[in-house]
Amino acid sequence: MDNLVSMEHLSKDEIFSLIETAIEFKQATNYPNLSNKYIANLFFENSTRTKCSFEMAEKKLGMNVIHFETSTSSVSKGESLYDTCKTLESIGANALVIRHSDNAYYEQLDGLNIPVINGGDGSGQHPTQSLLDLMTIYEEFGTFEGLNVLICGDIVNSRVARSNYHSLEKLGADVMFSSPDVWKDDTMKAPYVDIDAHIDQVDIVMLLRVQHERHQDAGSFGKEAYHQGFGLTKERYNKMKEHAIIMHPAPVNRGVEIDTELVESDKARIFKQMENGVYLRMSVLNQLINRKGN
How confident is the model at residue 71, as a pLDDT? 78
Who's near 24: CB < 8 A, 6+ residues apart?
none
Half-sphere exposure of 218 (CA within 13 A, CB side): 3
Q: What phi, psi does 237 have (nearest 5°)?
A: -55, -45
How confident is the model at residue 166, as a pLDDT? 94
Q: Which residues are annotated as a binding site for carbamoyl phosphate?
A: 49-50, 99, 126, 129, 250-251
The answer, yes or no, to whether residue 284 has pLDDT greater than 70, is yes
Class of the domain covering 7-125+275-291: alpha beta
How confident is the model at residue 221, as a pLDDT? 65
Q: Which residues are annotated as a binding site?
A: 49-50, 77, 99, 126, 129, 159, 209, 250-251
**Range(s) of the chain covered by CATH 3.40.50.1370:** 7-125+275-291, 128-270
User: In the predicted model, what is the mean pLDDT of residues 126-148?
Assistant: 98
Determine the Cα–Cα distance for residues 242 and 173; give it in Å rounded to an integer. Answer: 19
User: In the predicted model, what is the mean pLDDT of residues 240-244?
Assistant: 98
How confident is the model at residue 217, as a pLDDT? 43
The answer, yes or no, to whether residue 245 has pLDDT greater than 90, is yes
How confident is the model at residue 213, as a pLDDT? 53
Model pLDDT for residues 180-235, shown as the tens digit of each residue: 999 999 899 999 999 999 999 999 999 999 876 554 544 456 888 899 999 999 99
Q: Which residues are annotated as a binding site for L-aspartate?
A: 77, 159, 209
User: In the predicted model, what is the mean pLDDT of residues 234-246?
Assistant: 98
Chain mean pLDDT for the chain: 93
Model pLDDT for residues 54-111, shown as the tens digit of each residue: 999 999 999 999 989 877 787 777 889 999 999 999 999 999 999 999 999 999 999 9
Model pLDDT for residues 250-274, shown as the tens digit of each residue: 999 999 999 999 999 999 999 999 9
Topology of the domain covering 128-270: Rossmann fold (3.40.50)
In angstroms, the first-to-last Cα distance of the chain is 14
How confident is the model at residue 84, as a pLDDT? 96
Determine the Cα–Cα distance for residues 19 and 276; give it in Å rounded to an integer. Answer: 10
Predicted TM-score (pTM) of the model is 0.94
Q: What ranges in the chain are assigned the alpha helix state H? A: 12-27, 49-60, 81-90, 127-141, 159-170, 195-198, 223-230, 234-239, 270-292
How confident is the model at residue 237, as a pLDDT? 98
* E strand or H helix at 40: strand 38-43
Residue 264 Cα to chain centre, angstroms: 20
Model pLDDT for residues 28-70, shown as the tens digit of each residue: 999 999 999 999 999 999 899 999 999 999 999 999 999 898 7
